[in-house]
Amino acid sequence: MKKISINNKKWVFSKNIPQHFDVHILKSVPLYKESHDLILDLISFFSKENFIFYDIGCSTGSLLSKIQNKVIEKNSKYIGIDIEKSMIAYAKKKNKYKNISFIHADIAKYKLKKCDLVSSFYTLQFIEATKRQLVVNKIFDSLNINGSFILFEKVRASDAIFQDIAIANYNEFKIRNGFSKKEIFDKSRSLRGVLNPFTTKKNIAMLKKAGFANVEIVMKYNCFEGYLAIK
């Protein structure tokens, strides 16, 4: 299995990671497949004619492909955005549906068009904390009335004891999935200063500050959570 590489002790994508990313992420993130399945169930509550859906941090475009295979609304558009150029190139090569498009862009700088649903899978946690609220504000402003934002994030525990438990349990998860202790340590070290998760309380506060009045946790496993926020 190809792995995410370390460059100068910082986490980066290696040149050939896109074609191995889907396998890697299933072994790295608990309930990743189930979180995609959940979106496929939730989307029926928000899809309609002329439906527009953005997937922020779309990586290889797997989610968009799954949605296209299950939900085909008249004149619907599905747009994937990712800051990694190699991911976008691979997603374009992998996905050939006419109503799916991919954009290489930094979501902090990109202007979203009016849309009905936005998803973000483990992406905001890599955005600078000072910019994160602005991104969520932008997402809220782009949504039509009754539109929704589905957010999945790794979260920081509410206190040190629970944080220690969460880290230990997550390490056990990765060991069960074939990662060595050295790989786990090296990955953790490379993410210092790159990955900065918020607590559950702070994530919900951020969503509500943007304007989302209705926010619900729809999935949770240890230090990984999914939120549904409705405008």
The pLDDT tens digits for 72-85 are 667 889 999 999 99
Q: What is the pLDDT of residue 8?
A: 46
Q: pTM score, two decimals?
A: 0.88
Structure tokens at 16: 């050939």
Domains within the chain, CATH numbers bracketed: 6-230 (3.40.50.150)
Instruction: Let me know: does 112 contact 139? Beta carbons within 8 Å.
Output: yes
- At residue 2, the pLDDT reads 39
Predicted pLDDT of residue 3: 44
Instruction: Supply the pLDDT for residue 197.
Output: 93
What number of residues does the chain have?
231
- Tens digits of pLDDT across the chain (231 residues): 334 444 445 555 555 677 778 788 888 999 999 999 999 999 888 888 889 999 999 999 999 988 887 766 678 899 999 999 999 999 999 888 888 999 999 999 999 999 999 999 999 999 999 999 999 999 999 999 999 999 999 999 999 999 999 999 998 999 998 888 888 777 777 777 678 899 999 999 999 999 999 999 999 999 999 999 999
pLDDT tens digit sequence for 174-223: 999 888 888 877 777 777 767 889 999 999 999 999 999 999 999 999 99
- In this prediction, residue 187 carries a pLDDT of 78
Q: What is the pLDDT of residue 193?
A: 65
69-96: burial string, b at 16+ Cβ within 10 Å, e else = eeeebeebbbbbbbbbebbbebbeeebe
